[in-house]
Structure 1
């Protein structure tokens, strides 16, 4: 019973240490990971090295693979770059084996691990939520990880070589060992843990080297399951990446099984002949590194056709508009990158909201004579409103998921602002849906506008200088000014530029001038009896709603523009980040923004 307790406790401590180490590094890294992804994944060699180094730090190829899928889903990594990061993560997982072999079996672990835990927890408790606290969590996790290894050593050492029946070294026995490694990794959710168990079992003489090697091969296959689950309902690129990970690990496992005996014989010969080391633990670590390196060498010439093959897949169904395109719970665990994904999703939400606003405005007087809209016009508006509302809920859920973690203060301070932007876009959509429905209704039941109807073609724009002899003609300039604003405020519009923030403000000011002028004219015309007062009130109420929508859109565009710049968009991605703004040259450094004109 004591031996079983040691084994379970060792596995638990190892997994706890790995979790603390990974979470601490994410918090301590801050924006460094974002800069690494931007600068060190531009070629497949850089992507491979990045995968190796980051996996060596976080001590989990599974975590790195799931994170890479999340980054692709969030638009932060291109498919090709992420592919080599994942391949590198498999090779980087060998670092865990080397640490266990070189430290876990050659040092007194208590003396080594306990200082790490003590110093780490002191830093963590004194700097909760800061980078210092993240570093402390990393150090404490590192110490716990090795305490877990020490317990596993004691447990397997006490079992002895006869504790388990010999599975045999024939094909059936090796396949059974592969299956055991696969199942262990699925249960523990960490191939590094399975590798550590195999190493300690070999060190304790419980299983032979060949069986341990087959278990390690199974662990490599088992680590793909987490990636497959992470890619369910993800973007096409994320599903392609999960498929590539499965192909890489399965091909590597098949080759390793085919070459198992020759590889082990070669490693044993080299170890004894040149390194004077016949230790089976070292030989197992070398085997693990060798067959992962062999997999990378196999994929190097095959990567181009593999990319072409996968890019032709997962394209049969277009992504559902209701589903977020950038938000992914896998990337939520890295706050600085989650902010980038949120900003991209907010830009997409804003684009959809402003599309709705544009279509709703066009159902009102913008061209005279007005044309009767199709019966589907209101249904389309309702669908777009449902999409925006659904995205707002998803953004709120994603922010809630982030807030459950330890966050750096800079990140925590930005979350309310992101929710505020989503609220602005949602309010704009609701108001403009109402304005659009009113426009579609009255164009079917009231005067379509007669100003210059005899001289203007049905598709011609309104002549703003023509005298307004009917209400549609009188209010048309306000709707035209609103159209101009909605176009300038769209964060994904083709016409966005470095001065987009200021152009949106100018368009808002132009709309406000037109609104105030038109409002005064309508009130004067109603008082003089030119137009029915009740009808004037109806149009003024609609123009007031339009003005509210413009103000909401202006607030959202200004707040979105004030956020920090996005990381570079992947070169082969189709997504476009929101425009980033720079202050025009004539603005002084002390200027807070465009001067708002006073209204009478």
Structure 2
């Protein structure tokens, strides 16, 4: 083995990796939104997710690309963790398509006869096509041609390497399962591609460097090597991405351990199937069959356990937003007992109130960014929706009239909390935009924000007089700030674009605080069941009490 052989092997591997990237990016571009539609709409069950994972990974030739897209769907709430796990399991089977390409096409005939025409068509499309979609197909075909040319270089290099080893050395290596597993693992770790590692193993097997059993152990190691990529992906990732990466790691670890324990039996089964399929004389095809079979075995083992596995993963890696949106006190089993349901509901509304107050305080001051506040506001909206669903699920035939009134008040309160949270980013924007101001207008805006902060301090106890005083002081500050901003604009001290933004921030601030106060009145009034039974509190009652008709409803 000389330096030229090593350079040829590395060059072939480099061409192979480049080809895989071109194929993945080109096919993804050519398919456009079709693959995303397939992932988002055809994965209603874990089994269908497996099928979609196999199909999409086989098409784009990259389990990593499919995994990234799947994580995006989980983060967007389009896919649940259970659905996404089915897709991830399927990608492990779909990625075996590369092994079949290498074994059946790469070693079956003269590679140049197929690769060069494909390369010509691919480059031609890339240069001449007018649409981005067809340029993507050109990239994919170019990658396909380079795939086989790189494979040809690898094959020639490994044939040269094989000639420098004795048959005894090759046999000795092939029986050392632990060593071969490590080689497969390191190959995937270095190339960051299990497909490339599998291609190296198949090429080495075809060149006679390692025997069939050793190559099978190396294939298991290459499959385990993909866990390193998944583990690296968990750093600085979202909780959903971390859970999905752990499901990938768990699948590969369990599948690898089972395949290793059953290796003699599986090799015997592969030989039987190879004889039936008339591929027993092609070691690379047998290895591709082994690769497919043990990943299918993993799906058969893991998919029935997917729900329990997902439940375990969902208890890990909580974000602040996920903790907010998950009810702490509501339980569907309470729906048949309205008294207990109302008690739990009050606890959850009190928690929602505290979360909202903290959000509004952070919006008024502190280092919190607008995107962070938006995420927390969305989490509050999700919690409010869960509260509303819980209320509508309580059996109406088992409740008294006073209980029904309490639930109506609670439903209004939850809605007000949701609406107030959605306006919190507007508060933060107004607080940040104070730097645009000076003089009287800056003082007026600062006074409004201070009054808003004071409105968050006291705990309302159903005292409508106290609420009116707070709201009136807030509105006075709002009117004064609005007048000062308009005067500044007239005098040329404030640009019209900035004026519009600031006025919108003023309105959002006032509206957010008023909604919080109205929700607090409803919540505390609903806790007095006797008062509610005598005089139910409606939205119209609150509007009249706080005299909110003199201001238009704001978004």
What TM-score results when the alignment is normalised by the length of structure 2? 0.64
Offset, 1:430: 2.1
Distance 1:462 1:174, change over 3 A: closer
1:457 and 2:450 equivalent? Answer: no
Deviations 1:40-69 (A, max 9, x none): 111112211111011111212234334433
Distance 1:443 1:390, change over 3 A: closer
Offset, 1:117: 1.4
1:258 equivalent in structure 2: 261
Offset, 1:186: 0.7
User: Does the 8 A contact of 1:69 with 1:227 survive in 2?
Assistant: no
1:12 equivalent in structure 2: 14
User: Does the 8 A contact of 2:26 with 2:136 survive in 1?
Assistant: yes
Aligned residue for 2:467, secondary structure, equals: coil
Distance 1:444 1:460, change over 3 A: closer
Offset, 1:276: 6.4
**Separation in 2, partners of 1:86, 1:174:** 27
**Separation in 2, partners of 1:320, 1:296:** 29
**Separation in 1, partners of 2:212, 2:287:** 7
1:158 equivalent in structure 2: 160
Deviations 1:461-481 (A, max 9, x none): 7999xxxxxx986665688xx
**Separation in 2, partners of 1:314, 1:247:** 16
User: Does the 8 A contact of 2:122 with 2:139 survive in 1?
Assistant: yes
Distance 1:123 1:425, change over 3 A: farther
1:249 equivalent in structure 2: 252
Task: Determine which structure has greater relative contact order: mean sequence separation of CA pairs < 8 Å that are 6+ residues apart, divided by chain length.
Answer: 1
Offset, 1:145: 0.8
User: Does the 8 A contact of 1:40 with 1:46 survive in 2?
Assistant: yes
**Separation in 1, partners of 2:6, 2:94:** 31
Distance 1:547 1:189, change over 3 A: same
Offset, 1:215: 0.6
* Aligned match for 2:228, one of 213, 222, 225: 225
**Separation in 1, partners of 2:154, 2:475:** 83
User: Does the 8 A contact of 1:17 with 1:145 survive in 2?
Assistant: yes
Distance 1:35 1:275, change over 3 A: same
2:29 equivalent in structure 1: 27
Distance 1:320 1:47, change over 3 A: closer
Within 5 Å, give how 1:58-457 maps onto structure 2. 58-127=60-129, 130-160=132-162, 163=165, 165-166=169-170, 168=172, 173-272=176-275, 275=278, 277-315=280-318, 318=320, 359=360, 381-383=364-366, 386-388=368-370, 430-431=432-433, 437-440=446-449, 457=465
**Paired residue total:** 404
Distance 1:292 1:478, change over 3 A: farther
Offset, 1:431: 2.4
**C-alpha RMSD over aligned residues:** 4.1
User: Does the 8 A contact of 2:184 with 2:225 survive in 1?
Assistant: yes
1:36 equivalent in structure 2: 38
Distance 1:153 1:476, change over 3 A: closer
Distance 1:128 1:212, change over 3 A: farther
**Separation in 1, partners of 2:173, 2:196:** 24
Higher helix fraction (1 or 2) = 2
Distance 1:274 1:218, change over 3 A: closer
Distance 1:156 1:440, change over 3 A: closer
> Which consecutive unaligned segments of at least 5 residues does structure 2 have?
324-355, 375-424, 436-441, 455-462, 508-555
User: Does the 8 A contact of 2:448 with 2:477 survive in 1?
Assistant: no
**Separation in 1, partners of 2:427, 2:116:** 52
Distance 1:472 1:194, change over 3 A: closer
User: Does the 8 A contact of 2:279 with 2:286 survive in 1?
Assistant: no
> Which consecutive unaligned segments of at least 5 residues does structure 1 have?
322-354, 360-376, 393-422, 446-454, 465-470, 480-514, 524-533, 555-600
